[in-house]
Structure 1
């Protein structure tokens, strides 16, 4: 942890050199030149506090008080524009100051010292600026964003966030303080203070318009295209093996076999109940307490998850082999996306994958939460007495899972003589690009900012993007759960994988075309099973296989979308 904290602090420290922070610098300077000598401290402290709190807690806040996080951004844009007007029009500034003085008059004695040095005013402005600022995301910030988005915040992630924002604060404060001194204390500038304030007022208004229209992201992309290696240099030190190991520890990732003791049956606790099911497929409602005497395998899955899909042939085979020996398999379908709650979509997937065992639609996550589950796929094997005796998260280890099934069946007095299956294990053995979400709420690999805000706007494809990142081009509408192609929409992804999958649907239900290119050429022999003549046709709401290479390779994918295609997530194999 100490090593990770040091790198997080250093990462924040050098953020001052990244293009993603440059649009923030004139705002800091603009808001710091007026007021008392402690206003720059208030501005910078407000920025880092606001950024840290929102990064760590926005997912929790939205769950408790459902609202569109984009409303915070729009509020901040309004405040920035209004502050710009007060700098541009001195008479307006005087009226605002008079109004604030009347409202806060009864608190004057309590806050007199803070008001006189400008700290509180600076803090309020900084809290607002922190809402609209998104730093360039390296591996450390990407990990912070991922854990926060999945509401997996712990003490470790809080400490890393604190180290990161502390590193950011130091150069920002030096910049703000130096700028204030230069513009207000030096003879060359001090006599033009009024005019300088008006110039900065114009800058703030222009910045507010750019943020509102998302054009600030286009400017950042153009800056990075002009110096394509610049961003890689800034984040290169974060990618060393020691930092990557620390980040994996921070995430608390379970390996495919989480049995640390080495024993096959790695658990022993009363099984939670299956509850809150909105619909049952292939059977009447099932309850764990009614299935005592049988061995039960509970499999958490969702039909667009490629990791889940690769496990299904094994589970279907186990059902065929052991259902008459006392094994009951229950597939708990817990949706990752809103359209996966649709019963007809799930029924279609159940038929497609040859599933005949009971499937429970856990649309409200009641059973998921009962099991304290965190993963797709996840298997919980329950003995005849109703106790969870074996768990497995992710793909692979199918032989061990089947051995655990046989062990519990024999323990229950069943006669089991079947051989362990020799079905091939298609779990990827080489590191591939990570699952990549395209909705703003969980977006983390967008280049250069990690994520982008909600709303419709124009984007420019970045050149020479880092491995496992993507860039958007032309007109898109960004939503919490997905990104929607509007006009001439393009997406570029620098991936490392053998197989590329993308969850998509058509906005109006009509077939939509997606052109697929790899390394600048339309896919032919490398086309996925859903691509014909270099094009995929989006019809159903599902996972589409776009590219199949011979081995794991580093390639550049370019997709060109017909208007109305909605994109949810990339997965790789």
Structure 2
């Protein structure tokens, strides 16, 4: 019973981190600038036509999010299955995962540079008919093609999923991450003119957002190595006993 309660308490901070990581992934320098072109590509009109409301981008954006969510959910299930298989090595796995996440954070903070993570796989924005199925396939391609770009954030969430040792919660973490990354796409499609204006104002701050992501990665990595997640989970249960009823 205590194990279930502890797992529930441990999921809450991990889910919050996953949500924040998804939002920061959307705001990253290699994702935010391509949002308007992607929306225009999926609807089959130019950015100007998109702003003029020649065609709605909402339905294609929805299927795009479903496509990238499909890949992330499969990744979450696979990572959780791996963690469950090596459950007896969870302590070592957590330390390895923590070290990996810290290295990714140092990359974002520009303390070290990993050339592979500076690579961006882009798609030629040719003609597109705006179909839902095409947008779904584009979402799948985005999830795979931009893995080097959003890899540090995604790797952090996969590490949390793998060290959790439970498939349901591990998959749920990736669902939360997909939510944090995907919902801004939908909001941008719904409020396209406001979104483009907001993106233009945010662009000068992208380097700061990148640093914030780096700090978050380092903190999570340290927590994984030191076992602070477990300690924090115990604290949550002691401070908020009602959390036990959520398991």
TM-score range, shorter chain: 0.3 to 0.5
Q: TM-score, normalised by structure 1?
A: 0.23
Higher RCO, 1 or 2 (CA under 8 Å, sep at least 6)?
2
Structure number having the greater strand percentage: 1
Say which one has the larger Rg: 1
